[in-house]
Amino acid sequence: MAGIIVQKYGGSSVADTESIRRVAKRVVATKNQGHHIVVVVSAMGKETDGLLNRAFEVSKSPSRRELDMLLTCGERASMALLSMAIHELGEEAISLTGSQCGIITNDRHSGARIIEVRPIRLQDELEKGRIVIVAGFQGISYKKEVTTLGRGGSDTTAVALAAALNAEYCEICSDVDGVYTADPRVVEAAEMLEAISHEQMLELAAHGAKVLHKGCVEIARRTGIVLYARATSKFGGGTRIDLPGASENVDAVGVSGQKNLVRLRASGDTCLERVLTISERANVPALHLDTDMNSADIWFSLDDIPDWIGVKGDLDADIEVLEGVGAASVVGDNIGGDSAKLNLARSVAQGADINIVAMSSSPLRVTLFCEQSHVDQLVRSLHKEFISKAYAEA
Amino acid sequence: MAGIIVQKYGGSSVADTESIRRVAKRVVATKNQGHHIVVVVSAMGKETDGLLNRAFEVSKSPSRRELDMLLTCGERASMALLSMAIHELGEEAISLTGSQCGIITNDRHSGARIIEVRPIRLQDELEKGRIVIVAGFQGISYKKEVTTLGRGGSDTTAVALAAALNAEYCEICSDVDGVYTADPRVVEAAEMLEAISHEQMLELAAHGAKVLHKGCVEIARRTGIVLYARATSKFGGGTRIDLPGASENVDAVGVSGQKNLVRLRASGDTCLERVLTISERANVPALHLDTDMNSADIWFSLDDIPDWIGVKGDLDADIEVLEGVGAASVVGDNIGGDSAKLNLARSVAQGADINIVAMSSSPLRVTLFCEQSHVDQLVRSLHKEFISKAYAEA
């Protein structure tokens, strides 16, 4: 069988009939280059947000199972329409749900994790020469219930299928033409990256970069699948997300900003247990954790908590809540392990007169937490020091 | 040119004449399998420690340049002796210093970083069919001064050469036969791993595992070089450190313990600046950083600070110093991102009646800081919960 390429088209790429026709042409053109094509689609435009809003109008805390049932409608509509548009171009296409593609998940509704992919039906269809259109964002649990993968889940579907099918690569197509050194809406001097390693992309995605979802990058990293972040409106170009190469730049590759964070603080004897139990119950990964004998702080992104109001309502009275915080992160090789770079990041914040309320680092990253209203300024200042200077010197 | 293999032999493998003869036989046997061989050697046995002790007897704070000059003697002796032992077996061998191999570093004495490898001379010798013996742990700065790479630097030399020569793989040979799920001297049930990803190994090495040095694993990760951790006394076997594979175990792979840590705490307005400046001046990477508006804590491994007494003497009076602390870490895929696993680690410590003074996590790791005397017990308890249970269920 010829090489397989998985393409994923985001919500804005299938937002209306005209857009869907353009995607159909792009898919067929790729097939005509001699590839087998699997296309993963998101829900059209703001469809998912609309469905979510409607659910919360009906019920303050809708059942997660029913929410999943509702939300999966969005992708079903997109895939059927795209399939029809491809038929119009004279090609054979067939749409498959997450379940039909064999995307098996655990039973954590609205944030399921893919356990296994059994793409038998999908492979059969490809062998018949068909273009296969897959509904992103959804799977089926071992209990045969429809599940959703959480926000950004269509990217995850695409890369999980690419891994299961041993695809040549996976193309994530959107209205953004690649991965930039910072969000170009915030930093005018931001430049598009030609390539970045899986791990660096993972750090950027986990700390605010929106272009790719962290779950998708994590699977690509683990399975070695090459990703391309590309504009739907173009062929080629974009940013390649690949294994770290010998020629990898050892300097900073990007700066990301993150708003809408919250810090929870517990004090006293069982403080650590109490904050971790909140995190476990709400099924939210901690962005950062600070603890001491007397108090424990835990930081979350509200984007990771679908029902923040509910979680907040359940908190014990003595849990201190700080909302309206954010963070800026610099990602690059050996950033977090280099004490001079950590101190430089701190002094950049000081020079910009921005108060740092917490700091965390990993080998590839340093993150400065600050008031949300200062995030953009901090991203600009860090970008100027860590990225623009390096480009100017190169 | 046939494939190149880089082998590194640690201090205990070249500790005496008998050991050197055994290594010579192993090297020649590998060459006879049809490979080009580059051998990197450490100083014999406790040679480096002996030289260091002597230096500190002579001077309380010896010049770092002179220290480097002194310390590089150890490897020179080993390589010359090994070269002679290979000649005795009738093979051609030549020993080269770090400088002769083109290992160019920055000028940070006693902790230099490799900037570039220009192995032209080395390649010439290989093409002549010679076995090349290289002094580990040393390089030459752009200013033509002899530098050393810090402890564990011979592993770094080996993998940097492997990358520059595009070697098939790099074998790190020692008296340990591979990477275990925990230190077998601490955890009786520890099992040897057949394979582990570069990133997981990096987390283990950075948090106490002694079998491979973190600098070496970091270069292997960045350049994609496959490492083998093997016993000098055997052919084959051992643990492969490789790219993350599709079949990677998603559960915990190992537990490491780390003693001899120190926490520095500053309070008040400029607390963050003050602790980071200590870290920068002493050229020590922080293991963990906790900060708040009022205080900042920074954690170091004393193994990373060659001159702790000197650094401690220079600290401002109001920096609070906590010595005698340690940490235990669990490493695996998505450990740090899974709030249930973080809470499980905490409850394991609680069950063992061990007080946790700080906690940190990365996507692949969770670390619990505690009193040094509790580290071994905590490693055993975490291994039982995260590793032995998983093996029992598999």
**pLDDT surpasses 90 at A73:** no
Does the beta-carbon distance from A273 to B343 stay under 8 Å? yes
Which among A269, A281, A286 has a CA at the least distance from the CA of A313?
A281
Q: Which of B126, B146, B175 is the last residue of a domain?
A: B175
State whether residue B283 sits within 8 Å of chain A by CB.
Answer: yes
Average pLDDT value over all residues in chain B: 89
The alpha carbon of residue A220 is apart from the nearest alpha carbon of chain B, in Å, by 9
Please classify residue A335 by burial: count the beta carbons closer than 10 Å to its beta carbon, then call 0-12 exposed, 13-18 middle and 19+ buried: buried
Positive or negative: CA dihedral A209, A213, A214, A218: negative
The alpha carbon of residue B24 is apart from the nearest alpha carbon of chain A, in Å, by 31
Domain count, chain A: 1
Least confident of A36-45, B58-67, B99-108, B325-334: B58-67
pLDDT in tens, A214-270: 889 989 988 889 999 999 998 889 999 998 764 455 579 999 999 999 999 999 888
Name residues whose C-beta falls within 8 Å of residue B394's C-beta, 6 or more positions apart in sequence: none
Does the beta-carbon distance from B291 to A290 stay under 8 Å? yes
CA B145 to chain centre: 24
Specify the pLDDT at position A289.
Answer: 86
The alpha carbon of residue B207 is apart from the nearest alpha carbon of chain A, in Å, by 12
Confidence class for position B43, pLDDT limits 50, 70, 90: confident
Instruction: Check: CB of residue B170 under 8 Å from CB of residue B158.
Output: yes
Mean pLDDT of the B40-61 span: 79
Q: Which residues of chain A make contact with B362, given a CB cutoff of 8 A?
A: 362-363
Q: What is the CATH number of the domain that holds B92?
A: 3.40.1160.10
CA distance A294 to A289: 14
In percent, the amount of chain A with pLDDT more than 70 equals 98
Residues B264 and B163 placed together within one structural domain of the fold: no
In a domain, B221, yes or no: no
In a domain, B216, yes or no: no
Q: Which residues of chain A make contact with B244, given a CB cutoff of 8 A?
A: 221-224
Residue B222 has its nearest CB partner, among A244, A336, A337, at: A244
DSSP state of B387: I
Specify the pLDDT at position B149.
Answer: 87
Does the beta-carbon distance from A286 to B343 stay under 8 Å? no
Of all helices (H) and strands (E), which one includes residue B81?
A: helix B73-88
* B202 to chain A: closest CA residue: A363
State whether residue B294 sits within 8 Å of chain A by CB.
Answer: no
Residues B170 and B294 placed together within one structural domain of the fold: no
Residues B169 and B256 placed together within one structural domain of the fold: no
What are the residues facing A359 on neighbouring strands? A368
Q: Which of B175, B204, B237 is the last residue of a domain?
A: B175
Does the beta-carbon distance from A277 to B363 stay under 8 Å? no
Task: Give me the domain span that covers residue A63.
Answer: 4-175
Specify the pLDDT at position B250.
Answer: 58
Residues B289 and B168 placed together within one structural domain of the fold: no
Specify the pLDDT at position A174.
Answer: 92
What are the residues facing B239 on neighbouring strands? B229
Does the beta-carbon distance from B218 to A334 stay under 8 Å? yes
What are the residues facing A321 on neighbouring strands? A264
Cα maximum dimension of chain B: 69
B79 φ/ψ angles, rounded to the nearest 5 degrees: -70, -35
Mean pLDDT of the A371-390 span: 94
Angular region, B224: left φ>0, alpha ψ -120 to 50, beta rest: left
Pick from B276, B353, B365 the residue to mutate for testing the A interface (most A CBs within 10 Å): B276
In a domain, B149, yes or no: yes
* B365 to chain A: closest CA residue: A362
The alpha carbon of residue B54 is apart from the nearest alpha carbon of chain A, in Å, by 30
CA distance B333 to A370: 29
Confidence class for position A354, pLDDT limits 50, 70, 90: very high
Encode burial over B23-54: b for 16+ CB neighbours within 10 A, e otherwise: bbebbbebbeeeebbbbbbbbbbebbeebbee
B43 φ/ψ angles, rounded to the nearest 5 degrees: -70, 155
Average pLDDT value over all residues in chain A: 89
* B304 to chain A: closest CA residue: A337
Specify the pLDDT at position A270.
Answer: 87
A337 token code pair: 């392990």
Which among A46, A150, A165, A146 has a CA at the least distance from the CA of A104?
A146
Model pTM above 0.90: no
Does the beta-carbon distance from A363 to B218 stay under 8 Å? yes
Of all helices (H) and strands (E), which one includes residue B48?
A: helix B47-58
Specify the pLDDT at position B182.
Answer: 95
Tell me which residues of chain B, numbers 317 to 376, contact chain A at a CB-CB cutoff of 8 Å: 333-334, 336-340, 342-343, 346-347, 350, 355-363
Tell me which residues of chain A, numbers 175 to 234, contact chain B at a CB-CB cutoff of 8 Å: 199, 202, 206, 218, 221-224
State whether residue B31 sits within 8 Å of chain A by CB.
Answer: no
**pLDDT surpasses 70 at B244:** yes
B130 φ/ψ angles, rounded to the nearest 5 degrees: -90, 150
Confidence class for position B249, pLDDT limits 50, 70, 90: low
Does the beta-carbon distance from A279 to B342 stay under 8 Å? yes
Residue A277 has its nearest CB partner, among B206, B343, B362, at: B343
Q: Which of B175, B204, B224 is the last residue of a domain?
A: B175
Q: Which residues of chain B make contact with A334, given a CB cutoff of 8 A?
A: 218
In a domain, A170, yes or no: yes
State whether residue B244 sits within 8 Å of chain A by CB.
Answer: yes
Q: Which residues of chain A make contact with B304, given a CB cutoff of 8 A?
A: none
Which among B263, B209, B295, B255 has a CA at the least distance from the CA of B372?
B263
pLDDT in tens, B252-292: 999 999 999 999 999 988 898 999 998 888 878 888 888 87
Residues B269 and B131 placed together within one structural domain of the fold: no
Does the beta-carbon distance from A290 to B285 stay under 8 Å? no
Residue B307: CA atoms inside 13 Å, Cβ hemisphere, count? Answer: 20
CA distance B211 to B202: 11
Does the beta-carbon distance from B285 to A346 stay under 8 Å? no
Q: Which residues of chain A make contact with B355, given a CB cutoff of 8 A?
A: 293
Specify the pLDDT at position B246.
Answer: 44
Residues B148 and B279 placed together within one structural domain of the fold: no
Positive or negative: CA dihedral B345, B346, B352, B354: positive
Q: Which residues of chain B make contact with A343, given a CB cutoff of 8 A?
A: 273, 276-277, 279-280
State whether residue B246 sits within 8 Å of chain A by CB.
Answer: yes
Q: Which residues of chain A make contact with B336, given a CB cutoff of 8 A?
A: 285
Look up tokens 């509702």; give the residue. Answer: A70
In percent, the amount of chain B with pLDDT more than 90 equals 52
CA B20 to chain centre: 23
State ipTM. Answer: 0.70
In a domain, B378, yes or no: yes
Residue B272 has its nearest CB partner, among A202, A340, A359, at: A359
State whether residue A32 sits within 8 Å of chain B by CB.
Answer: no
Size of interface A-B (CB pairs under 8 A): 130
Specify the pLDDT at position B367.
Answer: 95
Specify the pLDDT at position A246.
Answer: 44
Residues B152 and B21 placed together within one structural domain of the fold: yes
Pick from B269, B274, B342 the residue to mutate for testing the A interface (most A CBs within 10 Å): B342
Q: Which residues of chain B make contact with A272, given a CB cutoff of 8 A?
A: 346, 356, 359
**pLDDT surpasses 60 at B320:** yes
The alpha carbon of residue A285 is apart from the nearest alpha carbon of chain B, in Å, by 5
Residues B256 and B147 placed together within one structural domain of the fold: no
In a domain, B123, yes or no: yes
Residues B30 and B124 placed together within one structural domain of the fold: yes
Q: Which residues of chain A make contact with B202, given a CB cutoff of 8 A?
A: 363
In a domain, A378, yes or no: no
Q: Which residues of chain A make contact with B331, given a CB cutoff of 8 A?
A: none
Encode burial over B360-384: b for 16+ CB neighbours within 10 A, e otherwise: bbbbbbbbbbbebebbbbbbbbbbb
Q: Mutual orientation of helices B64-71 and B73-88 as an angle, nearest 10°?
A: 20
Pick from A226, A274, A290 the residue to mutate for testing the B interface (most B CBs within 10 Å): A290
A60 token code pair: 């303050």
Residue B289 has its nearest CB partner, among A246, A285, A359, at: A359
Mean pLDDT of the B295-308 span: 86
Specify the pLDDT at position A51.
Answer: 79
Does the beta-carbon distance from A342 to B276 stay under 8 Å? yes
Mean pLDDT of the B315-330 span: 93
The three-state (H, E, C) secondary structure of chain A, written as one string? CCCEEEEEECHHHHCCHHHHHHHHHHHHHHHHCCCEEEEEECCCCCHHHHHHHHHHHHCCCCCHHHHHHHHCHHHHHHHHHHHHHHHHCCCCEEEECCCCCCEEECCCCCCCCEEEECCHHHHHHHHCCCEEEEECCEEEECCCCEEECCCCHHHHHHHHHHHHCCCCEEEEEECCCCCECCCCCCCCCCCECCEEEHHHHHHHHHCCCCCCCHHHHHHHHHHCCCEEEEECCCCCCCEEEECCCCCCCCCEEEEEEEEEEEEEEEECCCHHHHHHHHHHHHCCCCCEEEECCCEEEEEEEHHHCCCHHHHHHHCCCCCEEEEEEEEEEEEECCCCCCHHHHHHHHHHHHHCCCCCCEEEEECCEEEEEEEHHHHHHHHHHHHHHHHHHHHHHC
Q: What is the CATH number of the domain that holds B356?
A: 3.30.2130.10
How far apart, in Å, are the Cα atoms of B293 and each of A88, A264, B202, B298, B389?
Answer: 62, 15, 32, 14, 41
Specify which of A102-111, A180-189, B329-338 reaches the highest per-range mean pLDDT: A180-189
State whether residue A273 sits within 8 Å of chain B by CB.
Answer: yes
Q: Which residues of chain B make contact with A251, given a CB cutoff of 8 A?
A: none
In a domain, B244, yes or no: no
